[in-house]
Amino acid sequence: MESQITLTGYVGSDVEYVRGNGWVAARFRLGCTPHWRKGTEWVNGTTTWLSIRTSGLTADNVRDSVRKGDPMVVTGRLRTRGWDDSNNVHHEQLVVEAFALGHDMARGVSNYMRPAKASVQVFEDEPLGPSEEDLLNGAKPNPLEPPAESDMTVREAGQGTADEARGSADEAADLDELDGDDMEP
């Protein structure tokens, strides 16, 4: 069973962006403070701080769009991350693996801009060397030889699968090193 939630709050840290071998991830802290009316005055409740994590294309967009102090709406999967510190004390932190984020339009105005599309060369599933039949007849493979220009197609960025766009949650787990008490505003 998945725990999907939607939160509103204010960004309480700068966005941390990490690039690995074939993956990207971003993280920031979100403070959510409940407000209610008591008589004629507004009362603030206790602020709950959560780590918001994203990967793939969403991480790139978060890096370019989100700033400390921005009001946000975040939807994602709620997780609890636990770790032991150097004194062997166990800590836990609420983490949201976000798949949809945006500025809170109830708090201000935002201007949407599509990211520029970049052309990416994608090699089809054509063999890079001689066929199996040619190899049986004595042909030698050359793994360093690139495919001919006619064997390549160009695909616009953003036309991949949904899994490619989301990135891997396992890769984003490398952000665990960034999580901890050091981000509390």
Using pLDDT thresholds of 50, 70 and 90, give the confidence band for residue 141: low
Instruction: Give the H or E element holding residue 155.
Output: strand 152-156
Please tell me the pTM assigned to this model.
0.61
How do residues 33-87 score in pLDDT, each as one tens digit? 999 999 999 999 999 999 999 999 999 999 999 999 999 999 999 998 999 999 9
- Locate the domains of the chain by residue range: 4-110+160-183, 119-155
How do residues 147-183 score in pLDDT, each as one tens digit? 444 444 444 444 444 444 444 444 444 445 444 444 4
Q: Where are the beta strands (DSSP E) in 4-85?
A: 4-11, 16-19, 24-32, 35-38, 41-44, 48-55, 71-84
Length of the chain: 185
For domain 4-110+160-183, the question of CATH label 3.40.50.300 is answered with no
